[in-house]
């Protein structure tokens, strides 16, 4: 089984970017953690980042053909993007788990809304990089259930 892990805008800056909010891990560190976790769960993983909304839409569409699940940290597009919302609907029932490193509900009001959550299988926020690992665990459990 293959999982796409997709990261949105500014997440390439992790480690240098507002470390008080996002922590000291670089995206490459999170990728390495995910790779280890995916191997333990016997999942193939494709880990990507883009600052471009349309690229993320393309990747979600691609996941519809090639993946069994998606972990998506949409960055700020999570709060604004009807296009990402629609892309997830378009690949339904492919499970997408939304992840945010920070607790978006404890931050500015403009971060409290998610365009992704209503079409996601679930959402994890506020737990830092562990959120990605938990999302992988949840997708693995779903896939095992489907196989059973
Ligand atoms: C984020 C939260 C978003 O509000 C913000 O725009 C980001 C990162 C997070 O992982 O906490 O870029 O998605």
Residue 123: CATH number of its domain: 3.40.50.9100
Cα–Cα distances in angstroms (integers) from residue 19 to residues 48, 65, 133, in the given order: 21, 36, 20
Helices (H), 6-129: 19-22, 27-40, 53-66, 77-80, 82-90
Helix and strand numbers (H, E) in the chain are 6, 5
The pLDDT value recorded for residue 55 is 99
* 3-class secondary structure, 15: coil
Residue 22 is a catalytic residue: yes
The pLDDT value recorded for residue 98 is 98
The pLDDT value recorded for residue 120 is 98
Q: Which domain holds residue 131?
A: 2-147
Which residues in the chain land under pLDDT 70? none
Sheet holding 69-73, edge to edge: 44-49, 2-7, 69-73, 96-100, 122-125
Residues with CB under 6 A from ligand 1: 10, 73, 75-76, 78, 100-102, 104, 111
Whole-model pTM? 0.97
| ipTM (interface pTM) | 0.99
* Distance in Å, CA 100 to ligand 1 centroid: 6
Domains held by the chain: number:
1
């Amino acid at each position: 089984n293959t999982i796409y892990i997709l990261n949105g805008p500014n997440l390439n800056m992790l480690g240098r970017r507002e470390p008080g909010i996002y922590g000291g891990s670089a995206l490459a560190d999170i990728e390495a953690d995910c790779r280890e976790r995916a191997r333990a769960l016997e999942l193939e993983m494709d880990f990507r980042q883009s600052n471009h909304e349309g690229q993320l839409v393309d990747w979600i569409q691609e996941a519809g053909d090639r993946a069994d699940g998606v972990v998506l940290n949409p960055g700020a597009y999570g709060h604004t993007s009807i296009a990402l919302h629609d892309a997830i609907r378009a690949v339904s029932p492919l499970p997408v788990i939304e992840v945010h490193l920070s607790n978006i509900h404890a931050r500015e009001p403009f971060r409290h809304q998610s365009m992704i959550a209503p079409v996601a299988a679930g959402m994890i926020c506020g737990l830092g990089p562990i959120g990605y690992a938990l999302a992988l665990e949840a997708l693995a459990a779903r896939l095992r259930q489907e196989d059973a």
